[in-house]
Amino acid sequence: MKITVYTDGACSGNPGIGGWGAVILIEDTKPVHLHGGSDHTTNNQMELIAAIEALKYFSESSILNFFTDSKYVKEGIESWVHNWKRNGWKTTAKKPVKNKELWKELDAQITKHTINWQWVKGHAGNVHNETADYLARKFIEDR
């Protein structure tokens, strides 16, 4: 079964009010839209939470094509997190990793799945990325 996920985060002010959105496309079914937010957050936190919440949606181990427009999330989970764990959650500059608890949660979530991480340019006309962005901004606008 083919499963594709698109996630996005948004923030008005940084920090400020922020939202996250996810679009889950499961072969031959209607798209699933998830979204939420926080009154005091950052854009990077919303990007991470979008990925975490999308992965939590799946109760069983799945093979996922996962699209994010956040290089922070993609590069962080594909390469930086390995060094952070090895270095006691410190950066190469020996400073504490920002958003450590969210990174730990995302790292735990990915162990349940086989994920093909892909970066997509934001605000470039990709319909599912635009929908994830809309869902993220909806939380902000509804406040």
Residues in the chain: 143
Pick the catalytic residue from 40, 82, 123, 142. Answer: 123
Ramachandran bin of 94, using left for φ above 0, alpha for ψ from -120 to 50, beta for the remaining angles:
left
- Nearest of 45, 51, 59, 63 to residue 106 by alpha carbon: 51
Residue whose pair of structure tokens reads 């504490």 in the numeric block: 96
Whether residue 78 lies in the annotated active site? no
**Choosing from 19, 69, 76, 128, which is the catalytic residue?**
69
Of 18, 35, 128, 133, which one is the catalytic site residue? 133
Catalytic residue selected from 8, 18, 35, 76: 8
Choosing from 9, 18, 19, 37, which is the catalytic residue? 9
* Crossing angle of helices 43-56 and 100-110, rounded to 10°: 30
39 is known as an active-site residue: no
Active site residue 69: yes
Residue 82 appears among annotated catalytic residues: no
Q: Is residue 107 annotated as part of the catalytic site, yes or no?
A: no
Q: Is 37 a catalytic residue?
A: no
In sequence order, the 6+-apart residues with CB closer than 8 A to the CB of 16 are 40, 41
CA separation for the pair 101, 78 (Å, rounded): 17
Residue tagged active-site, from 19, 47, 76, 128: 47
Which of the residues are catalytic? Answer: 8-9, 47, 69, 123, 133
